[in-house]
Structure 1
Amino acid sequence: MLDKKLKEQDILYITQRKSEIWRVEPSTTAKNCKNFIREIVDNLDLKPNPEKPVIALSLGDPTIYGNLKTSEETVQAVISVIEDGLCNGYAPSIGYEDARAAVAEYLSHDGVDVRSRDIILCSGCSSSLEHCITVLADGTKNHNILMPRPGFPIYRTLAETIGVTVRYYNLIPENNWEVDLDHLESQIDQNTTAIVLNNPSNPCGSNYSEEHLRNILEIAYRRRVPVIADEIYEQLTFPGNKFVSTASLNSHVPILICGGLAKRFLVPGWRIGWIVVHDETGAFEDVRKALICLSQRTIGGNTLVQGALPCILQNTPQSFHDELIDILHENAQLAHEEFGKIKGLTPYMPQGTMYMIIEIQMEKFVVFKDGLEFAQKMMEEESVFCLPGECFAVPGFMRIVLTVPKDLLYEACGRIAEFCNRHYGTM
């Protein structure tokens, strides 16, 4: 009798609950996670002109058009690893020892002596950055980190996801986007736990001199703030510019350097990044241990590519890298010349990387309320899309990629010129 009554109560309870909406609340961390480029772009009503094929000057993936391919040596290195079948299982969470040793050797130049114990392999450079921000900054302690403006928004995404505040320091356009040193120092307070330094830069294409890097690191040393150096574009510099790693400057600043295969070797989808723990004073001994703990969350990067790393880094000919730089430099020169002819636009010639940033004289385009509407209408009328400066915290600018085939880049410049001529000075 009692069992029957309980069953009736259960049925009544289930029936009542079925009429309710069942909604599960996501975690605070998940709700804090935002891709700020996607958030901006997805809110634009991007409808291309159906009479013109789309030219996307917005995509940071250098492989997207198929004109830039990785080297044959890189491909064969991975094929050999697959055929050997020795890298199909789990690797140590920080990466295979021979892979880490190969990265250490690759990065040991200009007086820098990197050891394998200094290397942690990750699932792409974004994962490297995530580990570095997470190991240094704690949202429960009201920490903040500093990032450049303009700057790539992944730093903000990774920080705010874990409740860490982001503060911006300004870059100076007329000085090749060098850091405003006074402004940088003014942003530091007792809760600042890291300065993010991106050199060479996305989106600016700037490449800092040794002197300028020393000035930045002097502030970091004096204020006792570690540096996270995003050097994913290392050595992707144009003629007349030399890449200087922060590790080569003997600054006594503890630095976590992030890099990877993605850009220089044209394999962003292979998801191999690394962290270099550069620690001249022993300040990072506890951080080293904590980074190992963080790496255990994902059990490291792609094991097939790890197995191929020694061959990739040792056997890829310099001619491959030189040819890539030649293509990017030629495209940068073409874009700078063509955009320089367009009314209302001011291009900034990059010193390296795969990007160019262009200023939009918004006061000359009064028909548009902001750069977002400018980008949206350019897509609607000319089927050309560039990332608006709002994606990088600098309204009134736009970023283009230099990795598209030259004929498409030239075509895009022509369409943008027509668009600007059509709307320049209109009411």
Structure 2
Amino acid sequence: MHDRHGRTHTESKYSLARSAPHLALMENGGEAAKWRFGAANPALEAAGRHNIRSLVHDLYDCLDRTDSRSVVPLGHGDPSVFACFRTAAAAEEAVVATALSGKHNNYARAAGVEEARSAVAEYLSRDLPYEVTADDVVITAGCNHAIEVMMAVLAAPGANVLLPRPGFPMYESRAALCGLEFRHFDLLPDKGWEVDLHGVEAVADESTVAMVIVNPNNPCGCVYSYDHLAKIAETARKLGILVISDEVYDHCVFGSKPFVPMGVFGAIAPVVTMGGISKRWMVPGWRLGWIAATDPNGILRDKKIIESAIGYRAISVDPATFIQGALPQIIANTEQTFFENAMNVLREAAEICYQKLKEIECVTCPHKPEGSMFVMVKLDLSCLDGIHDDVDFCSKVASEESVLICPGSGLGMKDWLRITFAVDPPLLEDGLERVKSFCKRHGKPRR
């Protein structure tokens, strides 16, 4: 049958449902559905409370779109947007050649492409007194994915993990999401942000399974000495826990201290080293990282930590296979001059940052950055009028000066600020001048 518009009865019903779905339900004698989805996931909500990415990006909403000045991004560490930090030509050529080869369009094993695992093992072994093998390595979709994998692997019922404060909040997010309890130990600003080892022992108990260190450090910009790392290993051995060493900033050092991998002390306590190419090669968008057992005694393999990591990888995301396939050439073909030039720019930027911060009366920088791309500074609210806390400060700086800074609250340090100096030096200097002007404008009158 056709209606007066020439449509069949079925076509007329579909038209009715599109234009007035409630009428269609009534025609069919149905009732409005009672939808059962939409309840909050408490674990996801808990994880979201430690989401620094959202915190920083919320500041973009504070920007004055009528401000003709360039936005100065001092809130997150992505130097790749600046020409002075462009990655090595050899790295780009390796990726292009691998993509064009057609040899890595397939799925990879959960542990990763074998050639990539071997390349990482060889890369790490350069700085260690023993050899890491491909079987010790799991390839991940960036270092954030490595964090996800390790927090899930350690999340046995009742277990807890010790995290640094200030620290990288992805650890808290991932621990919360998988139901792993986390406890904090402090980094000491008056001692170059070293680990408070007495604090580590104080918060640990029989259910503690691991402690996390970040070296070179995000967010503090410190680089741990050989002696301090040895003490961390001895503390871990005393407690019977493993050390997760986040070394995504490996060799990103420009001060007096050399980079020493935690795996050097793997014979004292088992070490899981996490790293990637995102920072040293300035390619965070390539999403290629790794987990490695730097543990010459084989304790991690006996405890099936690497096996469990591979098992988790099998049910999570995969890093792009052509980036994995290019990794051996990326590592082998990048000339040392690229790294030297990148560190020279970072050294210059860190110096600009440190000197400009000394000119701003309402902030204090307790330790000159020596590595990574960040520095932590203390905000003195007593010098400012109408600024309530670090989040308020950052929101108003974004609005009035088009400068984005990460509030310390997102890192467990209320009324502190995390500033990245991995910015084109002239823009960095301009941004910090704007912060200085903001503080003068909002400063309390001197008596």
Within 5 Å, give how 1:247-326 maps onto structure 2. 247-284=263-300, 285=302, 286-298=304-316, 300-326=318-344
Partner of 1:105: 122
- Normalised by the length of structure 1, the TM-score is 0.92
1:423 aligned onto 2:442: yes
The one of 376, 386, 395 equivalent to 1:367 is 386
Mapped to 2, the partners of 1:41 and 1:189 lie a distance apart of 34
Compute the displacement of 1:361 (Å): 1.3
Partner of 1:114: 132
Partner of 2:358: 340
Name the aligned partner's letter for residue 36 of structure 1.
N
Mapped to 2, the partners of 1:95 and 1:39 lie a distance apart of 30
Q: Deviations over 1:144-180 (max 9, x none)?
A: 2111111010000110001112211111112111111
1:225 aligned onto 2:241: yes
1:387 aligned onto 2:406: yes
The one of 36, 40, 48 equivalent to 2:51 is 36
Compute the displacement of 1:39 (Å): 4.9
Within 5 Å, give how 1:139-178 maps onto structure 2. 141-178=157-194
C-alpha spacing 1:157/1:14, structure 2 compared with 1 (3 Å): farther
The one of 18, 21, 46 equivalent to 2:32 is 18
Q: Which runs of 5+ in 1 are unaligned?
A: 1-10
Compute the displacement of 1:40 (Å): 3.7
Compute the displacement of 1:59 (Å): 2.2
Asked if the contact 1:46/1:380 (under 8 Å) is kept, the reply is: yes
Overall identity of the aligned pairs, in %: 33
Compute the displacement of 1:424 (Å): 2.0
Q: Deviations over 1:304-351 (max 9, x none)?
A: 011111111111001000111100010000111111111121123111
Aligned partner of residue 168 in structure 1, secondary structure? strand
The one of 415, 422, 437 equivalent to 1:396 is 415
Aligned partner of residue 174 in structure 1, secondary structure? helix
Partner of 1:81: 98
Asked if the contact 1:121/1:301 (under 8 Å) is kept, the reply is: yes
Compute the displacement of 1:31 (Å): 4.2
Q: Deviations over 1:369-423 (max 9, x none)?
A: 2111111111122111100111111112111111211111111111111111112
Name the aligned partner's letter for residue 237 of structure 1.
V
Q: Deviations over 1:17-69 (max 9, x none)?
A: 41645534365554443152245446666133733422121122121334411
Compute the displacement of 1:281 (Å): 3.1
Asked if the contact 1:144/1:191 (under 8 Å) is kept, the reply is: yes
Mapped to 2, the partners of 1:36 and 1:215 lie a distance apart of 31
Asked if the contact 2:137/2:290 (under 8 Å) is kept, the reply is: yes
Aligned partner of residue 216 in structure 2, secondary structure? coil
Asked if the contact 2:389/2:415 (under 8 Å) is kept, the reply is: yes
C-alpha spacing 1:422/1:299, structure 2 compared with 1 (3 Å): closer
Mapped to 2, the partners of 1:233 and 1:55 lie a distance apart of 22
Q: Deviations over 1:99-153 (max 9, x none)?
A: 1111111111232421111111011111111111211223xx2222111111010
C-alpha spacing 1:374/1:352, structure 2 compared with 1 (3 Å): same
Mapped to 2, the partners of 1:151 and 1:247 lie a distance apart of 20
Compute the displacement of 1:249 (Å): 2.2
Asked if the contact 2:151/2:180 (under 8 Å) is kept, the reply is: no
C-alpha spacing 1:316/1:14, structure 2 compared with 1 (3 Å): farther
Aligned length: 415
C-alpha spacing 1:254/1:325, structure 2 compared with 1 (3 Å): same
C-alpha spacing 1:131/1:13, structure 2 compared with 1 (3 Å): farther
Asked if the contact 1:90/1:299 (under 8 Å) is kept, the reply is: no
Asked if the contact 2:164/2:184 (under 8 Å) is kept, the reply is: yes
Stretch deviating more after TM superposition (85-94 or 338-347):
338-347
Asked if the contact 2:155/2:179 (under 8 Å) is kept, the reply is: no
1:236 aligned onto 2:285: no
- Normalised by the length of structure 2, the TM-score is 0.88
Mapped to 1, the partners of 2:242 and 2:312 lie a distance apart of 18
Asked if the contact 2:138/2:306 (under 8 Å) is kept, the reply is: no
Aligned partner of residue 108 in structure 2, secondary structure? coil
